[in-house]
Chain A
Amino acid sequence: MIRDDQYFKELFFEQYQILFNTAYRILGDEAAADDVTQDVFAKLWANRKTLIIEKSIGAYLKRAVINTCFNYLEKRKRDIPLNLKNHEKEEDHTAQSIIASDLPDHINNAVANLPPKCRIIFCLSRFEGLSNQEIADELKLSKRTVENQLGNALIKLRQQLKPILSGAITLVSTFT
């Protein structure tokens, strides 16, 4: 229970960066991650008198961030045409410079083009280190759906990144 604003302020300062990091790893967009984090604290503040947190408040807030991120991505579905444009540009650019060390960045760009559910499951698994069971609980899905969506994510990422992937592999094999 949040008893007073001093406690709330301490919580804000203690948790803001941590929660922002989670949101940023999922959304890959600073402004959006900041909005989501603000939103989670605003809700916590609005419900401070009725809210009872069973385990740790950190875990509670992290779950709230994940859910808010997911809702944010769902709402953003409409902006897909914009994303596609970015993606095309990205491909032109990558065709010129195929460097294996750039791959993580390219993957992150490609992750941003995944459908919301697929994207959040992939991020929670790979970037947040959540187990399939934890993801399933968080998003109220079956474990099998989580596995399937992770598989989907990899297939879709591979389709997007195919030119870079084979390039990177060739490069590695020339040096070894």
Chain B
Amino acid sequence: MEESLKILLIRYLQKTATPAELEELTAWRNKGNNETTFQEIIQLWKTSSPSKEVKVDIQKSWERFNALNQPAKNLYIRPVFLRIAALLIIGFGSLYLFFSQYDSSQNDLTTITTTNEKKEIQLADGTQVWLAPNSTLSFKNQFDNNLRVVTLSGQAFFEVAKNENVPFQIIAHQSQINVLGTSFNVNSNHARTEVTVATGKVAFSPASSTNLILLNPGERGTLDYVSGELHKELDTDINFQSWLTGHFIFKNTPLHQVIEQLNTYYQIPIQIESKNNECLLTSVFNNQSQEEILEELELALGITYAKDSSRIIITSSKCAAP
């Protein structure tokens, strides 16, 4: 059945169809055996109802929950100083103070630094952040009412929870990125900050000036701290998200660049001696194992490689310059 007809049926059932759509539906019903189909679908829609309710024994569920998560223990076995503080304060008979102190910790700054592995972080507002290896993200445990600010060094992919009243701001070295609700990649170091947008709109500016560029999906903004230059380009790097997804697309890409990009995703780094541009790869990798990728490189480009526990070295490739 055509998509438009399915939508027509649903609009009819949900009573959102326009007169023209109703007419179209009537025309369809009058053809062949369609009326039977129509009646059966109506019957299905009207008869569908949830299964009978099941009563849960909540006390049992609570016990099960405690066995798995131990909430009571978790709350009190905190760092030693808190336990001592609690004891002292209970000594004074003032539990209230304990909780107000506990409260103030919610304004603390959390800093998360990754080393070898990437990390998925959920912020207080529902924003998802995938932090790349060797990167740092800081954020308040509780965002302010008028602005959600995080600080980034390194690379991360953001999926910002939509909240039009409270802008989301990323401070990355000397750059500032402002959004309302969208997803994009930020790669920032002392020399430059790059922002590549996946969905939505992003405002990108130097922290110290009013200069600003607006970025749309597929566009990349770069702020170069050495030259002070801020510019945007249609993203030329299709693999900007690959460090996270493991999906790589290569089109006549020089082997050393292929390796460089693959290294952003796989744990064991691959090293390559020659950096000539004659060994070109066209291929798509879809989250494959590193082993499989090396096999493919072996077949496609005739590379040979050696491996130990901490690295893989490409020793030669047939297409290398003579």
Residues of chain A at the chain B interface (Cβ within 8 Å): 1, 3-5, 8-9, 12-13, 16-17, 20-21, 24-25, 28, 30, 33-34, 37-38, 41-42, 45-47, 49-52, 54, 103-105, 107-108, 111, 122-123, 126-127, 132, 144, 147-148, 150-152, 154-155, 157-158, 161-162, 165-166, 168-169
Contact = CB atoms under 8 A, between A and B. Distances in A.
A151 B58 contact: no
Contact of B53 (A12, A21, A45, A168): A21
B124 A154 contact: no
B93 interface: no
A51 B103 CA distance: 13
A55 B18 CA distance: 35
B315 interface: no
B71 A45 contact: yes
Tell me if A's interface is mostly helix, strand, loop or mixed. Answer: helix
Contacts of B286: none
Contacts of A41: 65, 69
B6 interface: yes
Interface of B: 1, 3, 5-7, 9-11, 14, 36-37, 39-41, 43-45, 47-51, 53-56, 58, 61-62, 64-65, 68-69, 71-72, 74-75, 99, 102-103, 105-106, 110, 122-125, 141-143, 163
Contact of B43 (A122, A126, A169): A169
Nearest to A101: B47
Task: Across the A-B interface, give the 5 residue pairs with the lowest CB-CB distance, nearest first.
Answer: A151-B6, A127-B50, A25-B50, A52-B124, A165-B40
A25 B45 contact: no
A45 B73 CA distance: 12
Given A17-B56, A165-B43, A151 B51 contact: no
A154 B9 contact: yes
Contacts of B72: 5
A124 B2 CA distance: 23
B127 to A, nearest CB: 11
B43 A5 contact: no
Given A1-B142, A50-B141, A158-B40, A151 B10 contact: yes
A54 B72 CA distance: 25
B124 A158 contact: no
- Of listed B44, B68, B75, B125, residue having the most chain A CB within 10 A: B44
Contact of A169 (B40, B56, B68, B110): B40
Contact of A16 (B58, B99, B103, B106): B58
Contact of A34 (B5, B44, B56, B99): B56
B61 A38 contact: yes
Contacts of A126: 45, 48-50
B51 A28 contact: yes
